[in-house]
Homo-oligomer: A and B are copies of this chain.
Amino acid sequence: MATKTSTTQLTETAKPGEAGQHQPRAAERILGVARNLFYREGIRAIGVDEIVRQAGVTKPSLYRSFSSKDELAATYLRNYEVEFWERFDQAVSAHPGDPRSQIRAFLTRVGHRAVQTDYRGCGMTNAAIEYPEHGHPARQVGEENKRELRRRLRAMAAEMGAEDADTLGDGLLLLLEGAYVSGQLFGPGGPAASVAENADRLISASLKAR
């Protein structure tokens, strides 16, 4: 029914004929399409047929590179996580030695993205909600990411000199997750726009002796 669109461009194509490395084009195109569809529609909502159709390949090509749909989803999430930490570290390195500004910079950007139309939140959080079963490959990526994120936020809270650094770090994590979820629930004009401001107020309250 739908015409075959070639809009799914691969961002970085392995240059053919170099270093003898012949990265399969199919796997990258599949991953790119899966990333778009999984993020926008959800993992359970998208079948492998839809993915291979939009990628312009066929199912055996998918299953040669990924052992299962679950593994494809996990790969999508691992890539997603890499980019997440890139954004996070970008905010960190923009304000060396100033964790409060680091948090503010990161959350300002999150808050901005979260009120865009068709914002769909955090792919890892969404996947964990879609797959409540412990041990599911897709869920594990999210669980591990959130544990590490919690560790870093608590460390940053301690670096700020907060009395109860763990509580502050957890509060920042709650605000962040709330922004992810509320962003896709409310859309433009939603409460996620104020995540950075609220985080800063929470930091203020947590820094002064109570």
Measured CB to CB, the residues of A under 8 A from B are: 40-42, 44-45, 120-121, 125-126, 128-132, 142-143, 146-147, 150, 166-171, 173-182, 184-186, 191-195, 197-198, 201-202, 204-206
CB of A121 to closest CB in B, whole Å: 7
For A168, A180, A201, which residue has the most chain B Cβ atoms within 10 angstroms? A201
CB of A194 to closest CB in B, whole Å: 5
Chain B residues near A179 (CB, 8 Å)? Answer: 174
Chain B residues near A45 (CB, 8 Å)? Answer: 44, 130
A198 touches B191 (CB 8 A): no
In chain B, what residue has the closest Cβ to A125?
Answer: B181
A182 touches B177 (CB 8 A): yes
B132 touches A130 (CB 8 A): no
B185 touches A143 (CB 8 A): yes
23 contacts across the A-B interface (CB closer than 8 A):
A42-B44, A42-B132, A121-B129, A126-B129, A128-B184, A128-B185, A130-B130, A142-B185, A146-B185, A146-B186, A150-B186, A171-B175, A171-B202, A173-B182, A174-B175, A174-B178, A174-B195, A177-B177, A177-B178, A181-B181, A198-B202, A201-B202, A202-B202
Chain B residues near A197 (CB, 8 Å)? Answer: 167, 171
Could you say which of B129, B181, B186 contacts A130, with CB atoms under 8 Å apart?
B129
CB of A126 to closest CB in B, whole Å: 5
Chain B residues near A193 (CB, 8 Å)? Answer: 170
A132 touches B174 (CB 8 A): no
Q: Please name the 3 residue pairs, one residue from A and one from B, whose CB atoms are nearest each other, closest first.
A: A174-B178, A170-B191, A171-B198
Could you say which of B167, B191, B202 contacts A173, with CB atoms under 8 Å apart?
B191
Chain B residues near A40 (CB, 8 Å)? Answer: 132
